[in-house]
Every structure is written in C-alpha cells, then in structure tokens.
Structure 1
C-alpha cells in the first residue's frame, strides 16, 4: 500500500521548550519511517517528542513504552555480561578466544589463538560481518554455533588488531563465550544478570522461534520513497531472530533502554575498572568523527561538551534506534519504525539535541 504520511509533528508528554529537538526529529523522520520519537530527560524526570505515526493503518504517536526490536543495542547487553565474567575472574579480557572456544574461530584465515576477547568486543578482531548460509533447523530456527560456522566460511576483514570493522559475528562469538562459561543460554544469562535486576519488565531476549512483541508494540516497516509518498511494507515479524541472537535479537522500549544505559553509566552493572575498559575507544572509519567505539559501546561526543555512551541498532524488522546516557544523569532514546541504512549521522543529531537540551538534574 502506498501511504502519504505527513510529519504533523506534535509533542507528547512533558515537551517543555524542546522546539530545537522537535525540528531535528522532524528532519530525521523525513528520511526515516512513518514515525519517529525521542524519549529524553535526567534524574528528575523525562520528556517525549514524536513526529509522524506509529502505524500506517491507524494514526497514533509512538509511545516511549512501545516495544520494538532493538537490533544491535543487544550488543551492549552481551558485552556487559562478558565483562561481568571478567570481573568474576572467569574470563580474561586479553586472553585468546581459543582458550574458551577451542576450534570455533579457526580455518579459512582465522586463528583463534591470535584473536582476543577484547578484540571481539571492540570489532578489531577482523572477523567477517557476512553471515554466509547457515543450515536452519527443521523449525526454521538457527543454532548459534551453526551461524558462526557458516559466517567463518567468509574470509577475515583484516588481520587481528590491525583495523576496525563492524561485525555481528563478533557478538555471536561473544554469545557463545557466555554460554560456554556460564553453562546456560546467553539469553538466560542476560535476563538473570541484567533484565531482572534492573526491573526491565518490557525488555526480553526471545526464545527460539518466538517473534512476538508485547503490546503496545511498534510496527516496523521497510519500503522506498516515491516523491512525497512512501511504499510501506510491514516487516515487524519477518526476521528469524535466532540468526541474530546476541548480536541483535532483543526487544525493549525507549524507557527501558534509557534505564539500562543510565545504570551502566552509573556503574551499577560492571566494576569501575571494567567500565573504564568498556569506554576505551578506537576510531570508526566511515562513521561521523563524533563517534568512536569501545567494548560493545559507542562514545558520542556532544556539541555542548562531554560525552554520552550507548549504542545504535538497525534491523530489517523495520526498526532503527539508539540510546545514550551521560555520567551526570541525562538520557536520550530514539526510535523510528523503519530500517534506516546510513541514518546514524542524522540520528546522532537528534540524540545530541535531546541530551544537550536537557539540564543536569
């Protein structure tokens, strides 16, 4: 169906005087999905803005409690669990992955004895970002080891430690590491170590074959522009999530993600030493200069000074998002109901405006 969706931007909740952020959000929504929304604030409270609509079939604002696929924001949850295991003395950050997963990262130019856990979390391992063709189970789901095996039939991006290259496969390996060390599924480890303790009741790591989102949820769309019109195709439940697993399968809300990122910034999830390691960043070729990458964590340099820490996520379920927090208690979460390839520069502008437009409180 071809649907014209004018912006008709309207503030929701405690909008205050955030006209600057509303304007940037409207500009982002013009290249994004049918709708976009930002949830931001400080320790004293939060405010919400939206543009467009959450649903092409029934105009309504995107709510900050709408559940959606957080895609690569999952990587920060995965990294936190790995770093908790480092804190517990069960994993060494600079040990070779071969020590924990013998024979998994091997062959076709890969040598697990030369790739460290740190490099995997930092995307400096050189491991491919191509999935290959994994063999599905009879029910259409995928085993983590099989997805990794199929991916590693593709050659490395570069020799370990000699470059930076984003790779979902890195975080599938990190998920397998969690399972090897804890003896439980990685999703269960994320749930018991992060989701439960933080009370993130609208956040979930899906069980195999479960593509549901809990109401209220944000439909996701894919499509293309044709002048002032857009052909939107609902893709909300189109992805088998076990393929993305610990790299991108989770669901959450803007509110829950802001709580998670603020808890991480506040030092509630890992030790000060591990948070320092997590925030030791390297340049990201091809990304805006205001961004750099740590261990499952983006650094975003703010126009008003200082930094925010978080992650972006894009998935072909039709969801693109990003959530960041600062050490002084400010947070901002952004979501649009479309898969927006290459939209991070504009998304970063929205987040920067929201964070810089929120007083410390």
Structure 2
C-alpha cells in the first residue's frame, strides 16, 4: 500500500536461497482448434545472467520467446533471489504457466502456477471496473464530487471535497494523502498480524496531512482514493463492495480462485507463502488496512482472465472503456494512470520503447505484475513471494531481492 513502486526496481540482494525447481504447464490449440495441455517438471541449475538472452527477442520465434520467459522466471529464483515465482504467459494462441522455486521455505513445497497470492494494488482494477459499470448504468457520473456521495467524510486541512471528483480518485489526481508512515503499520510489525483497521480510520489518518496539491493539479498515487471509491460503491448500490465485485466480475468470469477477504489474516486454500527480505514469513497478515485499495487474493490464471476481458472491452460500455484508458502521466517518467489501470513504458532490446497495460501490486510478502501489450497479443501475469512492507514504510528501497523486469522484457517486447 505504501506509495507505488515502479515495475520491480532493482533492490539489494537478501539472504534468501531458493530451490531451483521448475514446473511448466503449456496450453495451445491443436489443428482442430481444441485446447491441448501438457506439463513439464524440471530440476535446473539456473544461469547467472539477469537478461538470459532477451537481447534476441526482436527476432525470436514464439518458441524462442517462451524459452526466454522460462529462463527469466528461473533466474528470479536463483541463489539470492526470490524463494518462488509463478507466471502465466500468453503469445498468440499459445499459453504457458510457469512455476519456479518454492512456495514455502519451511516445507520446500514447490511453487506451482495454480497457487493463490495476495494481489495488492491489482485489486484497484476490479474496484474501478465496478465504478465504471455503475457510471455506464447512469448511477453515478465520474464528474460527481466525493462530497456528493460521502458528505462530511473528506475533512482536513486544505481539502476541498466539493472539487474532488470520482474521476480524480480513479486516476490519482485528487491530491489525497496516504498515511504511509510506518506508524500505521506498527501493530503488524510488533507481531499482531491480525490487527484490524476499518477503512474510515485509514481515511481519517490520511486527512490529517494536507493534500499534495489542489484537486486535478497534479498526480500522486493514492490508495486513500480507492478506499473512498469503495465507500462510494457501497453507498450507491447499498451492497457490500465485495458482493458487487463477486456478482459483476468474479462469478461471470469464472474466477473460482479469486476472493476478497476483509479482516481474515489467513490465506486459505493452496497458496504461496510471502516473505520479507530477511526471510520472515508474512503470509498471515490482515488485509483490512488495504480493503478496496489492495486486499484481494487471486491466481495468475484468474488475473489473466480478468485483465484480458477488461482490456479487451468485454466488461465496459464504449464510453467507460474510453475512460478506463484515458491516461494522465504518472509523473515518474515511465507511464501513466488510467481509471484503475496503469501503463508502463520500457525500453526493449531492439531499441524501441513499448507501452504495456495493466496493473502491478506490492504488499506484505508478495509482488505481482499483470500486463498486456497494447494490441493484446502478448500477456504476462507474474507473482513472486518477497516484498518487505516494513522496509518500504521506513524508506528503505531494498524491498525485493532482484528486479522482475527481465521477465517482462522477455514476455512482452516484440
């Protein structure tokens, strides 16, 4: 929740050695249009190069690209890296699911693609989609002020709630402060991983600090804005926001391994364990502080299904789809924010700069990426099981053992 990390900035190595196990599940169409699946399990010795041959991507065949993605995922779990990583990779009609390393350091359980993990800020795209659907139904306007829907909620020094619109909350131009100081997380760091924050308390703490800028006059990533959007959805629909996400998105798309816990700190069902940089197990951790900004749990397959439907125009009416992809620069020089999604621009080995669409998520123990090429022909969902929230909240940039960007380059560059 603290801030918004770029796509896996390189961090100082931790002390996490991982088992170099590898699992690959492949899915492609046969000559009759039927889906064919097959699984390969390998024990490997991982090469040391971080790019692992991605310099040749510009001319790679589909098979070569898949090999490069596989090697880049393996590299994530080489000694000094993540304990485990899982990925979904699609190019054209071929889909591969990859798992490398271990899901649980204590038991040595292998990381496999079907395991659940906390998706953190990938939650925002689900919340934004529900709000945009409500706009398409005429229940709200993105030009409505937050004061109209939540009168008296946004109160604090320098705030003008009548000028903060729902659109500004969606694209991070509201100026709302996040309570990103370490004090918010002290109960968890002190060992009470089940500590519960209600959204109203997190919002109250946010508003004690003046806004970063006047409404619409800048860009600053704001989880608080998405907590407010969750409250707006509940005010408009008279339903729990989790029920709306379930009814509108999870059930119709068949996302059977996606859930939205509010208070429960335990990850249920088969799952990755999440860790900090010194190896502490952060898997059990109350998601209450993050709620509609980042509390959901999913798998690489479910996230891929959701984002493919969303970016493919299957969930929103045309006017709201245009709002989804209407970008403001993120102020960090590498992409922009839409209404619940983001873009990331990065340099590819052929010298081009390419724009990818989707979301990233970082929270206690987990880092995830769900991105697609602009034309939708290439897609990557990746999850790795280290993110150190305590370090981030205290200003220490070493929140992950290494960058995940080489996997993105291998999967998404032309």
Q: Quickly name the TM-score band, shorter chain normalised.
A: 0.7 to 0.9
Distance 2:258 2:16 in 1: 32
The equivalent of 1:213 in structure 2 is 267
In 1, are the aligned partners of 2:179 and 2:205 still within 8 Å (CA)?
Answer: no
1:9 Cα deviation from its structure 2 partner? 6.1
Of the candidates 200, 214, 227, which is equivalent to residue 159 of structure 1?
Answer: 214
- Distance of aligned partners of 1:209 and 1:3 in 2 relative to their CA distance in 1, 3 Å threshold: same
The equivalent of 2:199 in structure 1 is 144
**2:404 is paired with a residue of what secondary structure?**
helix
The equivalent of 2:134 in structure 1 is 85
Gaps spanning 5+ residues in structure 1: where?
A: 224-230
Alignment pair present for 1:104 and 2:148: no
Distance 2:219 2:371 in 1: 22
In 2, are the aligned partners of 1:78 and 1:190 still within 8 Å (CA)?
Answer: yes
In 1, are the aligned partners of 2:357 and 2:371 still within 8 Å (CA)?
Answer: yes
Of the candidates 344, 348, 355, which is equivalent to residue 300 of structure 1?
Answer: 344
The equivalent of 1:13 in structure 2 is 25
The equivalent of 1:228 in structure 2 is none
Superposition TM-score, scaled by structure 1 size: 0.85
Distance 1:147 1:129 in 2: 8
In 2, are the aligned partners of 1:131 and 1:169 still within 8 Å (CA)?
Answer: no
**2:249 is paired with a residue of what secondary structure?**
helix
**1:339 is paired with a residue of what secondary structure?**
coil
1:62 Cα deviation from its structure 2 partner? 2.1
The equivalent of 2:300 in structure 1 is 254
Q: Which stretch of structure 1 is more off in the superposition, 105-114 or 117-126? A: 105-114
Gaps spanning 5+ residues in structure 2: where?
A: 1-13, 27-39, 41-62, 188-193
Alignment pair present for 1:312 and 2:324: no
- Distance of aligned partners of 1:187 and 1:43 in 2 relative to their CA distance in 1, 3 Å threshold: farther
Distance 1:202 1:268 in 2: 20
**Aligned length in residues:** 342
Within 5 Å, give how 1:1-361 maps onto structure 2: 5-6=17-18, 8=20, 10=22, 12-14=24-26, 16-17=63-64, 18-29=66-77, 33-42=82-91, 44-130=93-179, 140-206=195-261, 208-223=262-277, 231-238=278-285, 240-286=286-332, 289=334, 291-301=335-345, 303=348, 307-316=355-364, 318-326=365-373, 327-339=375-387, 346-356=403-413
In 2, are the aligned partners of 1:131 and 1:147 still within 8 Å (CA)?
Answer: no
- Post-superposition Cα deviations, 1:275-328, rounded to whole Å, max 9, x if no partner, equal 111111122233x52x22111101234647764321000111x01101123443
Distance 2:173 2:413 in 1: 31
In 2, are the aligned partners of 1:147 and 1:243 still within 8 Å (CA)?
Answer: yes
Distance 1:355 1:125 in 2: 32
Superposition TM-score, scaled by structure 2 size: 0.75
Report the aligned-residue RMSD.
2.8
In 2, are the aligned partners of 1:32 and 1:336 still within 8 Å (CA)?
Answer: no
1:198 Cα deviation from its structure 2 partner? 0.7
1:11 Cα deviation from its structure 2 partner? 5.2
In 2, are the aligned partners of 1:333 and 1:351 still within 8 Å (CA)?
Answer: no
**1:48 is paired with a residue of what secondary structure?**
strand
Distance 2:413 2:109 in 1: 27
1:51 Cα deviation from its structure 2 partner? 3.5
In 2, are the aligned partners of 1:78 and 1:246 still within 8 Å (CA)?
Answer: yes
1:32 Cα deviation from its structure 2 partner? 5.1
**1:62 is paired with a residue of what secondary structure?**
coil
Distance 2:146 2:250 in 1: 26
Q: Which stretch of structure 1 is more off in the superposition, 45-54 or 120-129? A: 45-54
